[in-house]
Amino acid sequence: MPVHAGGRAYGDDVKVDVLIIGAGAAGLMCALTAGQRGRQVLVLDHANKPGKKILMSGGGRCNFTNLGVTPAQYLSANAHFAKSALARYTPADFIALVEKHRIAYHEKELGQLFCEESSKLIVRMLLDECAAANVRIETSCAVQRVRKANESFAVSTAKGDIHADALVIASGGLSIPSMGATGFGYELARQFGHNVLATRAGLVPLTLSGKHQEHYQDLAGVALPVAQASVGKRSFRAGLLFTHRGISGPSILQISSYWQPGDDLRVDLSPEVDIGDWLVAQRAARPAAQLRNVLGDLLPKRLAQRLCELWLQSRPMHQYRDAQLREIGAQLHHWPIVASGTEGYRTAEVTLGGVDTDGLSSSTMQSKRVPGLYFIGEVVDVTGWLGGYNFQWAWASGYAAGQAV
């Protein structure tokens, strides 16, 4: 079956200026940018509709950027790589696009911008911009083979063969396979001689096992509004949630990108209150109260109860000496929890690692090995924190390549 590109029906061999594989955040941004420059652009995706991850993002409201984006919020083997693209397409640029399309948004917290209504509006905006720039998008189209033929690329697909002067790989990472994620981009990178750094799930709930899981699994659904999770010198202070399999919530998702099995995970259950001092003051005010009830005013009651069952031994407050209360405080500021693993790609928001940035130009995303080949978005070894940073990388890297192709 022939592919239709640029609104025209072609024969068996389609020829375009730019072929983009992956109609996600980065691919659509690259397509509309290149299309606006007059390039004839075709975007292929094997999924049945474009922008599926955008649709499910931010709980259906898409946290599309963050006002505080800097390169420091990204993980990569080369901490400098993202600087150029992030500087040339900023949150303000994306906000201007959102405002041009009259999409209402609000800042939730920490600079995170969300749609007022629905993520669908962001996908609609990108598709409208693509349509205005004469970009053709083909969904449900699997790529079978990619070859470099002289100066152009020959791509065999289920719908026919395509020749393109520039080939942009925007096929994302491995997270949420049920949404169409594949290792396609990594395999293609290797095929063309690129190094691919080991991948692992990021922004992902941590799992507990053995006695740790037994101790806490029935607390699933219990949440702390503020906890501080740390690995090494890296700390994140935000919510924590107990799940059936372990722990999650923003503080845990954030630290999961820095944690690896065997690392010492430290969790402070009440980072904003010195618990030792607080308990001493509570003893003066409520000497007959049980420790578990007092702690239930600081922590979720079911958690306070469980901690007392497990290792704090609740007694009336007047029976504790200052040093004992301060020791209890120290233990709660350093909760002895051991994570055994992560929930993996099934629930991860992102994939860490990927196409080694050493092989790419930081200003254009073009391969240093294969002229005309580009890698953008999550497939590249650049991973942002939780909070709109990953979409900003998708927009910025997509724009950089869209300007260059």
Question: Residue numbers of the site for ligand FDA (CB under 6 A)?
Answer: 21-27, 44-47, 52-53, 56-58, 62-63, 143, 170-172, 175-176, 180, 182, 184, 349-350, 377-378, 388-391, 394
Per the CB < 8 A criterion, the answer to whether 44 and 24 are in contact is no
Shortest reach from residue 162's CB to ligand FDA, in Å: 12
Closest CA to 20 of 156, 166, 191: 166
Q: Is the CB of 173 or the CB of 300 nearer to ligand FDA?
A: 173
Q: Is 338 helix (H, G, I), strand (E, B) or coil?
A: coil
Q: Is the CB of 96 or the CB of 179 nearer to ligand FDA?
A: 179
Per the CB < 8 A criterion, the answer to whether 127 and 28 are in contact is yes
Q: Is the CB of 88 or the CB of 301 nearer to ligand FDA?
A: 88
Closest CA to 140 of 348, 1, 346: 1
Shortest reach from residue 349's CB to ligand FDA, in Å: 4
Q: Is the CB of 132 or the CB of 142 nearer to ligand FDA?
A: 142
Per the CB < 8 A criterion, the answer to whether 222 and 302 are in contact is yes
| Residue whose Cβ sits closest to ligand FDA | 24
Alpha carbons 108 and 120: distance in angstroms, whole number: 18
Shortest reach from residue 213's CB to ligand FDA, in Å: 24
Q: Is the CB of 289 or the CB of 350 nearer to ligand FDA?
A: 350
Q: Is the CB of 184 or the CB of 236 nearer to ligand FDA?
A: 184
Percent helix, percent strand, percent coil in the chain, to nearest 5: 35, 25, 35
Q: Is the CB of 246 or the CB of 276 nearer to ligand FDA?
A: 246
Q: Is the CB of 201 or the CB of 289 nearer to ligand FDA?
A: 201
Shortest reach from residue 38's CB to ligand FDA, in Å: 23
Per the CB < 8 A criterion, the answer to whether 35 and 193 are in contact is no
Query: The tokens 């820095």 sit on which residue?
Result: 258
Per the CB < 8 A criterion, the answer to whether 92 and 83 are in contact is no
Q: Is the CB of 56 or the CB of 280 nearer to ligand FDA?
A: 56
For the chain, give the longest Cα–Cα distance.
87
Q: Counting Cβ atoms within 10 Å, is residue 116 exposed (0-12), middle (13-18) or buried (19+)? A: exposed
Shortest reach from residue 173's CB to ligand FDA, in Å: 7
Alpha carbons 255 and 235: distance in angstroms, whole number: 7
For 388: left if phi > 0, alpha if psi spans -120 to 50, otherwise beta; the answer is left
Shortest reach from residue 284's CB to ligand FDA, in Å: 46
Shortest reach from residue 343's CB to ligand FDA, in Å: 12
Strand partners, 136: 42
Per the CB < 8 A criterion, the answer to whether 34 and 18 are in contact is yes
Shortest reach from residue 177's CB to ligand FDA, in Å: 10
Shortest reach from residue 327's CB to ligand FDA, in Å: 41
